[in-house]
Each structure stands twice: as structure tokens, then as C-alpha cells.
Chain A
């Protein structure tokens, strides 16, 4: 690895500079998160390599979903046509859309179009002949919004709670946090969603039941449903990681140098304890994709998840394929972001 030309500052990646460093000008030329180790060129080549490697994975996902839809009994044509349509009409339309062709030909056509950047047209009754890409673009912001707020809730709750729990190890406070996380994690999200809905929307009437009409208010319940389970997981991870780090020699060593407890815990221990949590952010995003499908269905949240479930019930193959493509990309991107973050926070890890 050649010497650094164009350093990407640590705080650029991580969003924050240690406060201490800023206040006391401790951020000397010689320290910093990534200086001297990871250059911009390395980063870009790494990202490109990862994305190229991810393409087969994404295609595999679409293939499996396509196969599963193909094997399920049922047909989009029946849904499009009125109930009294003649078998002849059905057959004609089927031929027109190419649903009479063998599986491999259909999938090949999908790939061929995909290579030209065309995701095809919807074949469900409500959105017949609309471009799938338009449908996705229209729904995508809603899902992104939901996932962003869900992730925020999950980390802004999970990390501090985990640290708190570790600092109060074995006290009743710690125990109650642990019980809470156990319950929150064990609860299936659709059930949690319904319970939250009953409490805050039906019983208390503070928040809208479903849909998006309530503006920001309407995203609270779905985002909470999405984020809570992961918050519980993050809490547990953060707690055990923090406890592990606190047992390390270097923490005692830092104390033996007279560092105030706040710096020992919130700078050194926290940064080290965050590492395992950062590695799973990629996995978390995968879970969030799956969770979004459920939560959007429960709360009728008009995002990709709802689109996918509706399309599946209508045998709208092109739309399902398009959505799966995008969701799989989420997972891949999530992993990529986590890898990069991890490499920049932990100097021992190199991209590559």
C-alpha cells in the first residue's frame, strides 16, 4: 500500500470527531483515524470490487424469487381480466405477455431487458402497463424514510442503553433493561406492531393507525415497530462488548495513567466496544429490509415492502422482480457501508 496522498479524514467517515480532541487540539498531525493507511484510491477500488462481486448475488436472489413465483399455482392474467372472460381471451393475453413460454425463456427475457435498464411493465390490475421502475421510484422514498428512522431509533436507543446496562452491571437497572430487551426481541414484529397500534392509535388516540396522512406522526409507529427488535439486539451486543472491553488490560492501564473515568469509558472503552456493533450494521440492514416488508404490510405504509406483498398476491412478476432487485441492493450496500466503516474505525483492519 503506497503512502497516503489524499486522506479521507476519519471524521468524514464517522461523522464525529472526538470532542476531546477538538477542544484540546489533541488532533495532531500524527494521529487520526485513517491517515497513512487507507487512501481514497484504495477506497474506490475496494467499493468497485465489492459491487462487482455483489452482482451475481443480486441476480441469484431475483432468480430464486422468479422460480418460486413460477412454481406457485396461479396466474396474473386471471387477475387482470374480468371474471367472465373467456378461456380464449385468457390464452391470447397470456401469449401477449409471454407467460406461456418456458421458465428459462421468461427469465432470460427479464435479464435481457434488465441489461438495457428496463424493468418491464406491471401486470397487476391496478397498475397495468405502468413502468415498474416508475412504481419503484415512487415507493422507494417511503421505504428509505422508514428504514432510516427505524435504524436511528434502533441505534440511538440500543447503544446508550447497552452502555448504561454495562456500567450498572448486575444492578436492578441492568436487569430490567435485559428483561426489556428479551421481550422486545422475542416479540414478532407484526404482533408488536398491532400492540403498539392498539395502544397509541386506538386506545390513546395519539397517533394515526396507518397510512401516511398524519405526516411525521404516522411514521412513528411503523418505525418503532421496525426499530425496537433491533434496538434490543444492539443493546445486548453493546452491553456484552462493553463488559468485555472493560476487562481488558488497556483499560486498567488507562486508569493507571490518571485518566478521568469519563474519558476511560466514553472515549476509549466505547470506541473499542463499538467495533463489533459496527460489523453487524450490514446484517442489521438486511434484517431491516425483511422487517420493512412486514411492517409496511401491517401499517399499510406505501413503500417497497407493501408493493412487494401486493405484487406477490397479484402474480405481478415484473414488479416483484424489480422490488427484489432493489431490496437485494440494499442488503449489499448495507454490508459495504459496514465494511468500510469498520475498516476506518479499527486501524487493525484493512480494506481488501
Chain B
């Protein structure tokens, strides 16, 4: 999108769980961008990795899970971003030019580091190498290797260059302390179930006060109380002073979710991640909370990443939609464009299953089959078993992400090579 500043840029993000039974690839190379002042919806069935995307951004992937590849650039200045993209192209060139022996070494290194495989791959044919590292899409491991070499030769005065080469704005290069000062302050998150997401033994005021004093350094009681009251008013709580004194169990579900939103917005974050914020609520309350979120996003000018499995919700709130399937983003487009021209068979299936207003359906059309097991590595498209338009190639090659019209990306072999006219 020309003219808009990216706030969060996720490139090739992969998150895996290392279990006794094997490796679960919850996120398999995700790319998307959240621009400033926009709401992006992430849609997909349960278990496709929506929450993991959110937790990965905050670097709070639980348990045996680890982010194994990719970048999460956050609030990267324009000049650094341009320089970094330049350098990435250079890295790609450099990789393409390097000899087969060197490639092998690099790929083995990358394969070892970024795919989480236990052993280094020994013998690789050129075709295998190209499969692991597609020449047009050199992954983080290799790029970072090249850039790190490059950064050493840069003069210290070249701050932009060094920041670009060292991925300084990549959240994955942050220390834990730096991450903590980002969480809740620059990026905050709302959880699905407000009933379990508030600490039951502290009052609303205490929990709000805690965040505000942590990120804004306000410790004075009166000022803090005033601030808490303001934030509660912001989320349209009628009697903030009363609610402040209450414990979570004394509040209704909708009220709790308002408090959660207050907690998330108390430090005016640039990005709000809302993970199914209305799923656990009554239908009437859902609408209220959605309206509230939409209005707050408009007035504060923050960006929002709205995660849901409900297309109706995103249609109402979001500017742009990413459709996820089995740990990958299969289609991304502006809301209107996506509803008008769904290109990926999975998106088309979702939309067909979604009853339109005023339309009566005797039977909901549901996509046949179930979500595949994420423990098994996919050779090709993850949707192949459920897809009615699948061809031979679908089971073998992973479809590339192509931009079929400006801002409309699809990963499907039906569309590979059919990039739109005014797209690079």
C-alpha cells in the first residue's frame, strides 16, 4: 500500500512446538503487515494458529513452543526499512551468486537453525536446496547470516545501515527487558475469555493502577486514581468509581471485557491485538463491545489486529482481512475486495458457509473434511485434501504468495503466475 506506514511487518514467521511425539508447526511462514491506523482481521478455523500469531508477536509463546524463523518488525522507521529491504535484496543476490558448495553449507546451517530439525542435513541435491530455500525467497537464517557479516564492515556512524543490517527493529532481537517495556505499552492484547483473564484477588483499580504506574511512572495515589477513572470512562463504564473498587467476580462478562479493554488501552498502545474479544460474550454484548473497539480505534488512532473465526465480526470492523489456514496465511485483501472476489478456494468456502443478511439457507454449506494435523510436514498446499480444485502440483509444491491485484495476496496454485498488471 503506497503512502501508508507499516507499523508491524511480519516476515516468514514460523512457530513450532517441540513435543515428544514430534514437531508441531503451528505457524509455517506467515507474512503480513499491519499499517498505521488500520484494523486487520485474522480469520480462520479453530486451531489454525491465530492465537499463536498473537503470542508470537508478544514473544509469549507458551511451553515447548518456540519461534524458529522469521522477523517481526515493529515501528521500524522508513529509512531503516528501505535500507533493510535493499540489503535483503543484496543478500538474495549474494546467495544466488554463491557456489553450490557454499549454498550447501548455508542451507545446512539454515536448515539446522531455522527448521528445528535435530540433525544437520548431510547430502542435498541442488533441487532439494532450492526447495528448502527458494531462490526468490531467501529466508531469515541466510539473510541474517549475510547481513551480520555485512554489518561488521559498516562504519559506526552509519546508524541506519547498522540498524537495518542487525534487524534492530525486529522484536525477535529484543532482550527480555526491552520486550517487557513494549508489552502493554506499545502492543497490548485482549484475551478471549474475560472471565479468566483478570486476576481474581485484586481489584480493578489495583490491576489498572499497576499497569499505569509500570509504564507511565505515575505513583501518586490521587493522580493514579484520576487516571484510572479516565480510562474506565473511555471504555464507557457508567460508574467508574464504583467499578474501581470491585473485584472481577463482581462484574458481568461484558463489564469484565470492558475492563480488559481499559487495561489494554490504558497506556495508549500503537497496536492492539484482540484475540476473539467477543466469542465468550452474549450476542447483544458482542455488538456493544465491537462498536466500542471500533470507535476507540478511530479516536485513538491505534492499529488493531482483530482475531476471530467469525466473518461477520471482521466484515464490520476491519479494513483488511487475512485468512489463515493450518498455520499459513492463504489470502489477504481489503475487506470489500475479499468479500467481492474471494480467490482462494478456502476463502470461497468460508464465505459460502457464512449466511448473508436477508438470505435464507436450508442448509449451511460447510467445507468438507477437517483441519490437517500440524505435526505432519506439508509438501504442498495444506488445503489440498479438502480442496475441490486441487491439481497434481498442489500436493507437491507449496504455492507461492502472489499479489493478484494491488493489496490482494493469494497463496494458491490456481493463481500462481497470474499476478495483476500493476504489481511488481
Contact = CB atoms under 8 A, between A and B. Distances in A.
A26 B263 CA distance: 16
B181 A258 contact: yes
Interface stretch (A54-62, A121-129, A341-349): A341-349
Given A25-B221, A30-B241, A259-B211, 5 more contacts: A26-B209, A256-B189, A257-B214, A271-B202, A348-B247
A30 B62 contact: no
A91 interface: no
Interface in B191-226: 191, 193, 196-203, 205-206, 209-211, 213-215, 219-221, 224-225
Contact of B183 (A30, A256, A268): A256
Given A259-B210, A348-B247, A250 B180 contact: no
A24 interface: yes
A258 to B, nearest CB: 4
A32 B246 CA distance: 10
A253 B198 CA distance: 8
Contacts of B58: 256
Interface size class of A (residues with CB under 8 A): 20 to 34
Interface of A: 24-32, 35-36, 248-250, 252-260, 263, 268, 271-272, 275, 345-348
B245 A30 contact: yes
A104 B225 CA distance: 66
Given A26-B213, A272-B201, A256 B225 contact: no
Contacts of B220: 25
Contacts of B245: 30-31, 35-36
Contacts of B180: 258-260
Contact of B213 (A24, A260, A275): A24
B253 to A, nearest CB: 14
A250 B196 contact: yes
B210 A26 contact: yes
B249 A258 contact: no
29 contacts: A25-B220, A26-B219, A27-B221, A28-B221, A29-B225, A30-B206, A30-B245, A31-B202, A31-B205, A31-B209, A32-B203, A249-B193, A249-B196, A249-B197, A252-B62, A253-B197, A253-B198, A255-B183, A256-B184, A257-B211, A257-B263, A258-B182, A258-B185, A258-B211, A259-B180, A259-B214, A271-B201, A347-B203, A348-B247
B60 interface: yes
B244 interface: yes
Contact of A253 (B191, B219, B244): B191
A252 B54 CA distance: 12
A256 B201 CA distance: 18
Contacts of A271: 201-202
Nearest to B243: A30
Contacts of A252: 60, 62, 191
B16 interface: no
Nearest to B189: A256
Given A252-B60, A258-B214, A348-B249, A30 B205 contact: yes
**Interface SS of chain A:** loop
B188 interface: yes
Contact of A256 (B60, B219, B244): B60
A250 B205 contact: no
Interface of B: 58, 60, 62, 180-185, 188-189, 191, 193, 196-203, 205-206, 209-211, 213-215, 219-221, 224-225, 228, 241, 244-245, 247, 249, 260, 263
A24 B199 contact: no
Given A24-B219, A258-B185, A347 B210 contact: no
A347 B263 contact: no
Given A26-B209, A28-B209, A28-B224, A255 B200 contact: no
Contacts of B206: 26, 28, 30-31
Contact of A28 (B201, B205, B211, B249): B205
B249 A30 contact: no
Nearest to B203: A31
Nearest to B217: A24
B247 A347 contact: yes
A18 B215 CA distance: 20
Contacts of B205: 28, 30-31
A252 B193 CA distance: 12
A88 B15 CA distance: 94
Give the residue among A32, A263, A345 with the most B Cβ atoms within 10 A: A32
A4 to B, nearest CB: 10
A169 to B, nearest CB: 11
Give the residue among B198, B202, B213 with the most A Cβ atoms within 10 A: B202
Contacts of B244: 30
A250 B200 contact: yes
Given A30-B225, A257-B211, A250 B60 contact: no
A28 B202 CA distance: 12
A33 to B, nearest CB: 8
A25 B219 contact: yes
Contacts of A30: 203, 205-206, 225, 228, 241, 244-245
Contacts of B203: 30-32, 347
**Which A-B residue pairs are the 9 nearest by beta carbons?**
A257-B184, A258-B183, A258-B184, A30-B205, A31-B206, A347-B247, A249-B196, A31-B203, A30-B244
B201 A345 contact: yes
A31 B182 CA distance: 26
A337 to B, nearest CB: 19
A54 to B, nearest CB: 28
A348 B246 CA distance: 11
Nearest to B185: A258
Contacts of A32: 203
A253 to B, nearest CB: 5
Contacts of B183: 255-258
